[in-house]
Chain A
């Protein structure tokens, strides 16, 4: 009964080699988020989609892009991963975008950059 699914759970890529992480949801939520969590640090919001509207955080590097082809799926593309991009990447969803909304998280994808 997984509601927010992330694949793969572990991803190994090479320095500079593009990589895509995927997230899908069965909740039919309007909003999808991507967070980056480095070791022993807080999850940090990279961007979110409200329906098809893309919203980038001001300090998210240009190296990170996202696609949302439909309500259920959202992808995180890292164009040229550096060693500093090794982290856990968390996908989350919420029904609406607002202060009262609960965010539902996926299990995360741990990215290793060699």
Chain B
């Protein structure tokens, strides 16, 4: 079955510390993976997608097919990064399967 797993419900770090939000997936085909973010009192929005291989707000994510992972990383966390982060898998050309989300809290 296609599934996205985010093992951490809450991740708390201090400002300036590195951040890694974990995402593992199970998918039989060629996966298309995304990270969506929801800041406090805002709507869910796309942060980045693996196909773009881009860095957004200092975040990067590398697809590791061997480990079936798509972890989100940032070398130096900022307080404004505090939000809910969802990893998502596109399983049929447009249908998203979301992980349960990880709440990132960046303390001053």
Could you list which residues of chain A lie within 8 angstroms of chain B, going by C-beta atoms?
4, 31, 40-45, 48, 57, 90, 92, 94, 96-108
State whether B98 touches A42 (Cβ < 8 A): yes
With both beta carbons as reference points, the residue of chain B lying nearest to A42 in the complex is identified as B98
**A–B Cβ pairs within 8 angstroms, 21 of them:** A40-B9, A40-B100, A41-B100, A42-B4, A42-B86, A43-B98, A44-B98, A48-B94, A48-B95, A57-B95, A90-B44, A92-B44, A96-B94, A97-B94, A99-B32, A99-B90, A100-B49, A100-B51, A103-B46, A105-B45, A107-B42
State whether A102 touches B93 (Cβ < 8 A): no
Summed over the interface, the residue pairs from A and B with CB atoms below 8 Å come to a total of: 51
State whether A42 touches B101 (Cβ < 8 A): yes
Q: Which residues of A contact B93 (CB under 8 A)?
A: 97-99
With both beta carbons as reference points, the residue of chain B lying nearest to A43 in the complex is identified as B98
- A45 to B88: give the CA distance in the assembly, Å: 12
State whether B86 touches A105 (Cβ < 8 A): no
Q: Which residues of A contact B32 (CB under 8 A)?
A: 99-100
Distance of A108 from chain B, by nearest CB (Å): 7
State whether B95 touches A107 (Cβ < 8 A): no
Which of the residues B44, B49, B86, B94 comes within 8 Å of A94, measured between beta carbons? B94
- A104 to B44: give the CA distance in the assembly, Å: 8
Distance of A93 from chain B, by nearest CB (Å): 11
Cβ contacts B50-71/A at 8 Å (1 or 0 each): 0100000000000000000000
